[in-house]
A and B are shown apart, each in its own frame.
Chain A
Amino acid sequence: MTRACLQALWSHWRRNPLQLFTFLAGLALATALWSGVQAINAEARASYDAAATTLGEGRFDQVLPKAGEGFAQEVYVDLRRAGWQVSPVVEGRLRLDDGAVRVIGLDPLTTPGALSPVAGTRDIDLSGFLTVGVLFADVATAARLADLPQEVVVDASVAPDTVLTDVGVAQRLLERPGTLSRLIVAPEQPMGLLPLADVAPGLMRVAAQGSSDVGQLTDSFHLNLTAFGLLSFAVGIFIVHGTIGLVFEQRRGMVRTLRTLGVPLRRLMGLMAAELLALSLVAGMIGVVLGYIVAALLLPDVAATLEGLYGAQVAGGLQLRPVWWLSGLGIAVLGAGLAGAGALWRIARMPILASARPRAWAMVAGRGRQVQGAVAVVLLALAAVIGALDLGLLASFVLLGCLMIGAALALPLIVGAVLALGQARARGVISGWFWADTRQQLPGLSLALMALLLAMAANVGVSTMVSSFRLTFVDFLDQRLFADAYVRGIDRDQMPGVEAYLIAQGYDVLPLLSVDTRLAGVPSELMGARVGPAYARNWSFVDAGPDAWAQVAAGEAVIANEQLVRRAGLWLGDALDIGDGLRLPLVGVYGDYGNPVGQAIVAETLFTSLFPEEAPRQFGVLGAPAEDLRADLGAEFGVPSSSVVDQAAVKAFSLGIFERTFTVTAALNVLTLAVAGFAILMSLLTLSAIRLPQLAPVWAMGLTRGTLARIDLLRALVLAALTAVLALPLGLALAWVLLAVVNVQAFGWRLPMYLFPLDYARLGVLTLAAAGLAALWPAFRMARTPVSQLLGVFANER
């Protein structure tokens, strides 16, 4: 009996291969985007975890030099001899033929806790590790180390582009004998320790971060991606839901027949559920494969984005991690279950001898309109409340969700109202029928239209954000890079000579000093600038007090970038501790787009008094074409030409990073729109099959098949246009949330919102074209419907 039932169930798909395709493709597409995003996130997280574990910076306090990049090993021994339980770390970049890798040297004897990966490797020879040297690296990095004399051990838990080895070996590799970069502080310290400042006055202790800095910084970025994945999934589920509903309605007759033949309801339900599960697993697997491809294509750009925005290293290769492919399969089954549960429930409640006529399921979907309207109103109200309260990143995603779903639910009601208006105003029989028939079809198309609305709104919102960002960023680059040329990367002993020479040549020289440090607990860069009129003329602030530059120049105040100020919860008038207990009032906040870390600027004189060891790392030179400088400095000091950088080159480089940053968003955007177009196509195709009984009488009254097809095409365009008109305000609302709420939380800066009417018009045309294309095939089929089939409608009821 089971076999016969299965055959009967399967026969439906055989007769309707299009529905099978729609179901599988819709679910697979939804799963693909979801699992693709998850794969990217999983890969990135694995890289951060590896980095954090490798460095141990998440769990242990660190001791760092107050200034500069290293300190003498003797300071470490002094601290140990004073009882401090600290462990040495030396790190730096090692140049290889094909770029550089980060080398981290540890002392395995004193490192606290389980710092991977050496911990898990039983069969290493410790004697070799400590003396000759063993290098640990992931597969890709290990391959690049073949030329080094040390033994290389492949270990997947090492962060990408990182080599882990003994501290002594690392010192030799990095050519920094006797120098350490930082110390890891063991959690347990002996009684009666001398204060750090008494033993090692040049060092400072930094508290453990709980998680890695990079992990914290990038969390919001990944949440962003996840939200996108979820949106794509929701659009896909709209398709699946529509298909499943239709399939189950069309099978009512079969269900009745099977049950009257004696198949128990329970068995039948079980078989249908199993069928759904099997199909969703197949679709899920296809989706996961597609997702892998999507992720593999996007990962290099995501990696570039993360490095550009946050300085986070992410491996470029994708691994099949169970976490994401399982979640992909899971969400496919869950999605199909969600979509199928209602349909199964209706079948279960169907009286055994109920009419086998399909109830034109799509028509009934319009019922409960009031409930739908009420839910939409509640969701939109909730969105407004959350928007007004400003509750943080997660809440702003909830806000986005409420806004989008609320608007999607409201869409059929609004479109229905507009169509009713059109019908009331219609003159002529055909026009009247057009409006009435469009209204009639609206419920069946509404899911596809919702998908289109979401996709289009996401497009408007994201492109508004990206374009606003680009305008702001270009403007910002113009302000920032006002010097004509930049000199950097030359020997620090040469710097004073070069500076004096340039001043003697009559150029305006703007040296820039900087140290990496922590300000208000945020990883930051403290910079010393020779404040002159050029700064006041070119820089604009997000917010600043009067005479901000003058106060900075006098060494009485500090200005900071938006990231630092927002992360530390400061604003104008607050004091910022810039080191050694020196607290200066904050007099200006400037935009600093694309910089992952905080930054604060003080006067050059103040900076040199705080960090007398530091020499300028670069100069800006005003009034000197880069070409001339290159020739001059090359002849005078032997400065390589690559050390003199043209302003335009720096700008181009920065813009390049920016463009890559949003490749991913743009790609996801296009994919979402494609899914929505697919949804429309499938809805129209399925509807066209049901609509025959309604069209036949119209045809019989004299409208040709060609006219009917043209009317159908027009109808699709009208509906798409209506949706597009509604998507615009929704997209702008989305853009506002992204710019004013999500960006601040995710990147630390708030951006002004610009409008791009031309872009929106282009998108509208694109949407109409997509809808028109989607409607073209059903219309073509309509024009080619055999007359016999149309006549058949009158011959019997079906």
Chain B
Amino acid sequence: MSVRWVLILLLWTQGALAQGFAGLGSGADGFAVPRPDPVFDFPADHGPHPDYRIEWWYLTANLAAEDGTEYGLQWTLFRSALAPGEAPGWTSPQVWFSHAAVTTPGAHHVAERFARGGIGQAGVTAEPFNAWIDDWQMAGETLDTLDLSASGAAFRYDMRLEAEGPLVFHGDGGFSVKSAEGQASYYYSQPFYRIEGTLDLPEGPVAVSGSAWLDREWSSQPLAETQSGWDWFSLSLDGGAKLMGFLLRQTDGSSYSSATWIGPDGATQAYGDGAFAAKPLEVAEVAGRQIPVRWAVSLPDKGVAVTVEAMNRDAWMDLSIPYWEGPVRVSGSHAGRGYLEMTGYE
């Protein structure tokens, strides 16, 4: 059975794009649904929430070597539940999959892993924190100090992360609304990691350092059925401020936007639909698809009017669920680095 098929079966149960990217738009039958005014319980909430359909631990990093060469790094673990709750052994309804990538100026290395819950091949524990699938791992005493590793056929990385700021909650205290109809998720981040370590690449090992951003999000129905994909930006601006913003594209051509402005001290300001804007400036052919590789991004309330451009246009994640994800450079009213994820470009 091809892995692609599994995912299609798993996530695109009706086989229709109208269902939203990766099936995130389907109904929430039997699963718990995010409610407003969440009260988080840490460190327990760093661990899995098996009663919700989908959840992720999503880490991206902008890195640089001593010679100034820039790199991007991704480590993501997804949990997808076939049914709410947990069961022992192979009967567990929890399915885990994971994506890892290293982007260099000239190459984009990717790998993915799959695992069944219940047998120990993958999982997350909150205390001490450990998220793993096969030999890929993100682990530490707490979420503040993490060791991170992953490997593929043509890359491997071993990194160490240290948080230099507080957790950040998106939307209304971590309740992030994803559509006009009210679909929502629980969503918080740790955008203040210092990261350093070694990338093992086909051309040899490279010592790198930089900054990393961890997203934690779980839900049972984060997309409306009319939403076909998203463009998600996490930008670290010179001066210490950060901007998270996303566009959820509607099948009718309109979009739903949301953003969080994060001050250097971690103080946040959330913006609802319409405040944040992003428009493609240049579309390139990547992996046979038309992908925006340069964007005009603005948040007028904070005087942000920047151009966001892919560091390597070919950062296509050619995996069971294909999408674009890679490091970006920011110029204009503010300068900086960041990460861009674009899904639903079929």
Chain A residues engaging chain B, CB cutoff 8 angstroms: 73-74, 76-77, 80-83, 85, 106-111, 113-116, 118-119, 122, 124-127, 130-131, 166-169, 171, 177-178, 188-192
The 8 A CB mask of B183-205 against A (1 = contact, 0 = none) is: 00000000000000000100000
Question: What are 19 residue pairs bridging A and B, where the CB atoms are less than 8 Å apart in the complex?
Answer: A76-B121, A77-B119, A77-B120, A80-B134, A82-B135, A83-B134, A109-B6, A109-B97, A109-B114, A111-B1, A118-B5, A130-B82, A130-B95, A166-B90, A190-B151, A190-B153, A191-B151, A191-B154, A192-B200
User: In the complex, which residues 81-135 of chain B have their Cβ closer than 8 Å to any Cβ of chain A?
Assistant: 82-83, 87, 89-91, 93, 95, 97, 111, 114-116, 119-121, 132, 134-135
Chain A residues lying within 8 Å of B267, measured Cβ to Cβ, are none
Chain B residues lying within 8 Å of A85, measured Cβ to Cβ, are 134
How far is B153's CA from A80's CA once the two chains are assembled, in angstroms?
15
Q: A77-B119, A190-B152, A190-B156 are in contact. Are A115 and B93 (CB under 8 A)?
A: no
19 further A-B pairs in the complex, CB-CB below 8 A; given A114-B2, A126-B6: A73-B119, A74-B120, A76-B121, A77-B120, A81-B135, A82-B135, A106-B1, A110-B115, A115-B1, A116-B1, A130-B95, A130-B116, A131-B91, A189-B153, A190-B153, A190-B156, A191-B152, A192-B151, A192-B200
Kindly provide the distance from the CB of A716 to the nearest chain B CB, expressed in whole angstroms. Answer: 65
Verify B116–A122 contact, CB threshold 8 A. Answer: no
User: In the complex, which residues 131-153 of chain B have their Cβ closer than 8 Å to any Cβ of chain A?
Assistant: 132, 134-135, 151-153
Chain B residues lying within 8 Å of A171, measured Cβ to Cβ, are 90
Kindly provide the distance from the CB of B29 to the nearest chain A CB, expressed in whole angstroms. Answer: 11
Chain B residues lying within 8 Å of A110, measured Cβ to Cβ, are 114-115
How far is B53's CA from A591's CA once the two chains are assembled, in angstroms?
62
Kindly provide the distance from the CB of A428 to the nearest chain B CB, expressed in whole angstroms. Answer: 85
User: In the complex, which residues 1-24 of chain B have their Cβ closer than 8 Å to any Cβ of chain A?
Assistant: 1-3, 5-6, 9-10, 15
Kindly provide the distance from the CB of A153 to the nearest chain B CB, expressed in whole angstroms. Answer: 13
Verify B93–A127 contact, CB threshold 8 A. Answer: yes
State the interface size on chain B (CB cutoff 8 A): 34
**Is there a chain A Cβ closer than 8 Å to B31's Cβ?**
no
Chain A residues lying within 8 Å of B10, measured Cβ to Cβ, are 126
Kindly provide the distance from the CB of B99 to the nearest chain A CB, expressed in whole angstroms. Answer: 14
**Is there a chain A Cβ closer than 8 Å to B155's Cβ?**
yes
Q: Contacting B115 at CB < 8 Å: which of A74, A109, A119?
A: A109
Verify B90–A113 contact, CB threshold 8 A. Answer: no
Q: Contacting A126 at CB < 8 Å: which of B2, B9, B121, B132?
A: B9
How far is B330's CA from A17's CA once the two chains are assembled, in angstroms?
93
Chain B residues engaging chain A, CB cutoff 8 angstroms: 1-3, 5-6, 9-10, 15, 82-83, 87, 89-91, 93, 95, 97, 111, 114-116, 119-121, 132, 134-135, 151-156, 200
Kindly provide the distance from the CB of B106 to the nearest chain A CB, expressed in whole angstroms. Answer: 19
How far is B246's CA from A656's CA once the two chains are assembled, in angstroms?
75
Verify B120–A130 contact, CB threshold 8 A. Answer: no
How far is B6's CA from A131's CA once the two chains are assembled, in angstroms?
14
Kindly provide the distance from the CB of B124 to the nearest chain A CB, expressed in whole angstroms. Answer: 15
Chain B residues lying within 8 Å of A192, measured Cβ to Cβ, are 151, 156, 200
Kindly provide the distance from the CB of A447 to the nearest chain B CB, expressed in whole angstroms. Answer: 56
Chain B residues lying within 8 Å of A113, measured Cβ to Cβ, are 2
What residue in chain A is nearest B81 (Cβ atoms)?
Answer: A127
How far is B81's CA from A130's CA once the two chains are assembled, in angstroms?
12
How far is B154's CA from A416's CA once the two chains are assembled, in angstroms?
77
Chain B residues lying within 8 Å of A81, measured Cβ to Cβ, are 120-121, 132, 134-135
Chain A residues lying within 8 Å of B135, measured Cβ to Cβ, are 80-83, 190
Verify A108–B6 contact, CB threshold 8 A. Answer: yes
Chain A residues lying within 8 Å of B134, measured Cβ to Cβ, are 80-81, 83, 85
Q: Contacting B1 at CB < 8 Å: which of A77, A108, A177, A178?
A: A108
What residue in chain B is nearest A113 (Cβ atoms)?
Answer: B2
| Interface-centre pick from B6, B90, B154, B155 (highest chain A CB count, 10 A) | B90
How far is B121's CA from A676's CA once the two chains are assembled, in angstroms?
68
| Interface-centre pick from A82, A109, A131, A177 (highest chain B CB count, 10 A) | A109
What residue in chain B is nearest A127 (Cβ atoms)?
Answer: B82
Instruction: Rank and list the top 6 A-B pairs by shortest CB-CB distance, nearest first.
Output: A168-B90, A127-B82, A83-B135, A190-B151, A109-B114, A126-B9
Q: Contacting B116 at CB < 8 Å: which of A109, A116, A169, A191?
A: A109
Q: Contacting A119 at CB < 8 Å: which of B2, B15, B155, B156?
A: B2
Q: Contacting B82 at CB < 8 Å: which of A77, A126, A191?
A: A126
What residue in chain B is nearest A107 (Cβ atoms)?
Answer: B116
Kindly provide the distance from the CB of B320 to the nearest chain A CB, expressed in whole angstroms. Answer: 10
Verify A109–B95 contact, CB threshold 8 A. Answer: yes
What residue in chain B is nearest A168 (Cβ atoms)?
Answer: B90
Chain B residues lying within 8 Å of A111, measured Cβ to Cβ, are 1
Kindly provide the distance from the CB of A279 to the nearest chain B CB, expressed in whole angstroms. Answer: 49
Kindly provide the distance from the CB of A133 to the nearest chain B CB, expressed in whole angstroms. Answer: 9
Kindly provide the distance from the CB of A752 to the nearest chain B CB, expressed in whole angstroms. Answer: 51
How far is B151's CA from A188's CA once the two chains are assembled, in angstroms?
12
Q: Contacting A131 at CB < 8 Å: which of B82, B114, B132, B154?
A: B82
Kindly provide the distance from the CB of B188 to the nearest chain A CB, expressed in whole angstroms. Answer: 29
Chain A residues lying within 8 Å of B97, measured Cβ to Cβ, are 109
Chain B residues lying within 8 Å of A127, measured Cβ to Cβ, are 82-83, 93
Chain B residues lying within 8 Å of A118, measured Cβ to Cβ, are 1, 5
Chain A residues lying within 8 Å of B120, measured Cβ to Cβ, are 74, 77, 81
Kindly provide the distance from the CB of A192 to the nearest chain B CB, expressed in whole angstroms. Answer: 6
How far is B95's CA from A115's CA once the two chains are assembled, in angstroms?
20
What residue in chain B is nearest A171 (Cβ atoms)?
Answer: B90
Chain A residues lying within 8 Å of B116, measured Cβ to Cβ, are 107, 109, 130, 168
Kindly provide the distance from the CB of B136 to the nearest chain A CB, expressed in whole angstroms. Answer: 8
How far is B120's CA from A115's CA once the two chains are assembled, in angstroms?
24
Kindly provide the distance from the CB of A14 to the nearest chain B CB, expressed in whole angstroms. Answer: 62
Verify A191–B156 contact, CB threshold 8 A. Answer: yes
How far is B63's CA from A67's CA once the two chains are assembled, in angstroms?
49
How far is B13's CA from A126's CA once the two chains are assembled, in angstroms?
9
How far is B116's CA from A188's CA once the two chains are assembled, in angstroms?
20
Chain A residues lying within 8 Å of B82, measured Cβ to Cβ, are 126-127, 130-131
How far is B5's CA from A144's CA once the two chains are assembled, in angstroms?
28
How far is B9's CA from A244's CA once the two chains are assembled, in angstroms?
61
How far is B89's CA from A169's CA once the two chains are assembled, in angstroms?
11
Verify A168–B1 contact, CB threshold 8 A. Answer: no
Kindly provide the distance from the CB of B286 to the nearest chain A CB, expressed in whole angstroms. Answer: 23
Q: Contacting B155 at CB < 8 Å: which of A80, A115, A191?
A: A191
What residue in chain B is nearest A82 (Cβ atoms)?
Answer: B135
Chain A residues lying within 8 Å of B91, measured Cβ to Cβ, are 130-131, 168
How far is B89's CA from A76's CA once the two chains are assembled, in angstroms?
13
Chain A residues lying within 8 Å of B153, measured Cβ to Cβ, are 188-191
Chain B residues lying within 8 Å of A130, measured Cβ to Cβ, are 82, 90-91, 93, 95, 116
Chain A residues lying within 8 Å of B115, measured Cβ to Cβ, are 80, 109-110
How far is B95's CA from A591's CA once the two chains are assembled, in angstroms?
53
| Interface-centre pick from A81, A130, A171, A177 (highest chain B CB count, 10 A) | A130
How far is B1's CA from A76's CA once the two chains are assembled, in angstroms?
19
What residue in chain B is nearest A191 (Cβ atoms)?
Answer: B156
Chain B residues lying within 8 Å of A125, measured Cβ to Cβ, are 9
| Interface-centre pick from B3, B95, B111, B132 (highest chain A CB count, 10 A) | B3
Verify B9–A124 contact, CB threshold 8 A. Answer: yes
Kindly provide the distance from the CB of B110 to the nearest chain A CB, expressed in whole angstroms. Answer: 12
Kindly provide the distance from the CB of B190 to the nearest chain A CB, expressed in whole angstroms. Answer: 26
Chain B residues lying within 8 Å of A77, measured Cβ to Cβ, are 119-121
